[in-house]
């Protein structure tokens, strides 16, 4: 096994990876910006190195600094976490060119799935159903209009290089297509340096359902069931569940079979997530994430599998060593993403945490890098904690999450805990009958 791994990330996910390494007897190297010198992921690592100033592009996105840090410390592999360089094929290539292991898929697969147009064509060829839309890139307004006429409005213009919910514009009627097209194109160019866009039918009441997979280097792919991430605000997930309250066991099995067969043909290795929209009994692929997801813990809670440990084993060259029938999904898990934001206006609330008390008890897990006296920097993502619970049933998990959120005390910054408590208490959430548009309506007072 590797003896030392460099973790190219910060915050809760750096700590999460560190925990897996420690249990596997692997030494860890933490990297940090000057703004994170006193961060928990630095304090708990075996070694740490400063890689640059606060701005992410100068530190956590600074490839030469990260590679030097790995070489200086004698790390044998790099775990990228999520965000930052986790889906950067050039970085993965550079890591491998320096004789280090990249804990993730092959650079070729990262590149292919990073372009959502290529991702969709590839998956279609592998027999995965898609959301109806344009046949590849939409190069001009005339084509956009033609596609919209063909599939019917509303349509969604999406950036090929999109991520984090950016570069997406809805056109409700044909009159809105030209503007949606040019705005999405301009946004895509500014945000991703790539103005390629494509068009999809805008579904009116889908659920976001995603499937966690792991593939080894020997052609075996196994899935770990689905996560329901329909509770979103501005296309960003706020609360996730495993399994989905909206699909049946038979649908899960069928989706799993399509996905694993496709990815075995593709030769996919390491962790990945296939994202689908589900409406009227149909699954339609939207994109694949070639990395660990923020919401991976809900899958870990219902399967008992440490996904980071599996990622490390696979990157080292070990075979999965188990098959689909060995994966058991038991009970129900929920994750709340707690961010340093005002729970009503969503304005960021960075600052110093003057007091912090973590919830606990049966079936409660907290993935967080905060502590009393910690100053939440304004330079990065506002996620401060992921609270995850497991229960034998969905109602038990809901009651447990409610109880754990009430135990959770954070002073000095505002957090989204009050919003999560409101969601959990809502009858529509409790019934499980919600789609991707539900939360937007809920927070704007529509409910």
CB of 363 to ligand ADP, least distance (A): 27
CB of 72 to ligand ADP, least distance (A): 34
CB of 158 to ligand ADP, least distance (A): 6
Single out the residue of 33, 59, 232, 311 in contact with ligand ADP (rule: CB under 6 A). 232
- Residue closer to ligand ADP by CB (options 52, 162) is 162
Single out the residue of 20, 61, 171, 203 in contact with ligand ADP (rule: CB under 6 A). 203
CB of 34 to ligand ADP, least distance (A): 30
Per rule CB under 6 A, is residue 287 in the interface with ligand ADP? yes
Per rule CB under 6 A, is residue 165 in the interface with ligand ADP? yes
Per rule CB under 6 A, is residue 149 in the interface with ligand ADP? no
Site for ligand ADP in 414-443 (CB under 6 A): 436
- Residue closer to ligand ADP by CB (options 236, 324) is 236
Count of residues that interact with ligand ADP, criterion CB under 6 A: 19
> Which residue of the set 111, 185, 291, 337 is catalytic?
291
Mapping DSSP onto H, E and C, the string for the chain reads CCCEEEECCCHHHHHHHHHHHHHCCCEEEEEEEHHHCCCHHHHCCCEEEEEECCCHHHCCCCHHHHHHHHHHHCCCEEECCCCCCCCCHHHHHHHHHCCCEECCCCHHHHHHHHCHHHHHHHHHHCCCCECCECCCCCCCHHHHHHHHHHHCCCEEEEECCCCCCCCEEEECCHHHHHHHHHHHHHHHHHHHCCCCEEEEECCCCCEEEEEEEEECCCCCEEEEEEEEEEEEECCEEEEEEECCCCCCHHHHHHHHHHHHHHHHHHCCCEEEEEEEEEECCEEEEEEEECCCCCCHHHHHHHHCCCHHHHHHHHHHCCCCCCCHHHCCCCCEEEEEEEECECCCCCCECCEECCEEECCCCCCEEEEECCCCCCEECCCCCCEEEEEEEEECCHHHHHHHHHHHHHHCEEECCCCCHHHHHHHHHCHHHHHCCCCCCHHHHHHCCCC
Per rule CB under 6 A, is residue 238 in the interface with ligand ADP? no
403 is catalytic: no
CB of 205 to ligand ADP, least distance (A): 9
Single out the residue of 202, 268, 434, 442 in contact with ligand ADP (rule: CB under 6 A). 202
Per rule CB under 6 A, is residue 110 in the interface with ligand ADP? no
- Residue closer to ligand ADP by CB (options 201, 365) is 201
CB of 154 to ligand ADP, least distance (A): 8
Choices 58-66, 90-98, 203-211, 247-255 (CB under 6 A): range interacting with ligand ADP = 203-211
Positions touching ligand ADP (CB under 6 A) are: 131, 156, 162-165, 200-203, 206, 208, 232, 235, 275, 277, 286-287, 436
Q: Give catalytic residues, as residue numbers.
A: 291
């Amino acid at each position: 096994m590797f003896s030392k791994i460099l973790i190219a990330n910060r915050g809760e996910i750096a700590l999460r990876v560190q925990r897996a390494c420690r249990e596997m007897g692997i030494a860890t190297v933490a990297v940090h910006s000057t703004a994170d010198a006193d961060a928990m992921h630095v304090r708990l690592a075996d070694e740490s190195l400063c890689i640059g100033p606060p701005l992410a592009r100068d530190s956590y996105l600074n490839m030469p600094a990260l590679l030097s840090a790995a070489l200086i410390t004698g790390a044998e592999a790099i775990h990228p976490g999520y965000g930052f360089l986790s889906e950067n094929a050039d970085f993965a290539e550079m890591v491998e060119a320096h004789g280090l292991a990249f804990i993730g898929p092959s650079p070729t697969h990262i590149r292919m799935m990073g372009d959502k147009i290529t991702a969709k064509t590839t998956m279609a060829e592998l027999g995965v159903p898609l959301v109806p839309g344009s046949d590849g890139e939409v190069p001009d307004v005339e084509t956009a209009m033609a596609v919209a006429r063909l599939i019917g409005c509303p349509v969604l213009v999406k950036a090929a290089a999109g991520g984090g919910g950016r570069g997406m514009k809805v056109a409700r009627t044909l009159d809105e297509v030209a503007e949606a097209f040019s705005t999405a194109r301009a946004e895509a160019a500014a945000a991703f340096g790539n103005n390629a866009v494509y068009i999809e039918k805008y579904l009116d009441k889908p659920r976001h359902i995603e499937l966690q997979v792991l593939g080894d280097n020997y052609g075996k792919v196994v899935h770990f069931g689905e996560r329901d991430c329909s509770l979103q605000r501005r296309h960003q997930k706020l609360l996730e569940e495993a399994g989905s309250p909206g699909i049946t066991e038979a649908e899960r099995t069928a989706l799993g079979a399509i996905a694993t067969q496709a990815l075995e043909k593709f030769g996919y290795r390491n962790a990945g997530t296939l994202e689908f929209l589900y409406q009227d009994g149909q699954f339609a692929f939207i994109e694949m994430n070639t990395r660990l997801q923020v919401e991976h813990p809900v899958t870990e809670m219902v399967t008992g599998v440490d996904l980071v440990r599996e990622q490390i084993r696979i990157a080292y060259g070990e075979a999965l060593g188990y098959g689909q029938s060995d994966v058991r999904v038991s009970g129900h898990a929920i994750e709340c993403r707690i961010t340093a934001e005002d729970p009503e206006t969503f304005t960021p609330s960075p600052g110093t945490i003057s007091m912090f008390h973590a919830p606990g008890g049966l079936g409660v897990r907290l993935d967080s890098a905060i502590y009393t006296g910690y100053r939440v920097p304004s330079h990065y993502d506002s996620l401060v904690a992921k609270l995850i619970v497991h229960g034998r049933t969905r109602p038990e998990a809901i009651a447990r999450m409610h109880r754990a959120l009430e135990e959770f005390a954070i002073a000095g910054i505002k957090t989204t805990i009050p919003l999560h408590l409101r969601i959990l208490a809502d009858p529509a959430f409790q019934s499980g009958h919600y789609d991707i548009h539900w939360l937007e309506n809920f927070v704007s007072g529509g409910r």
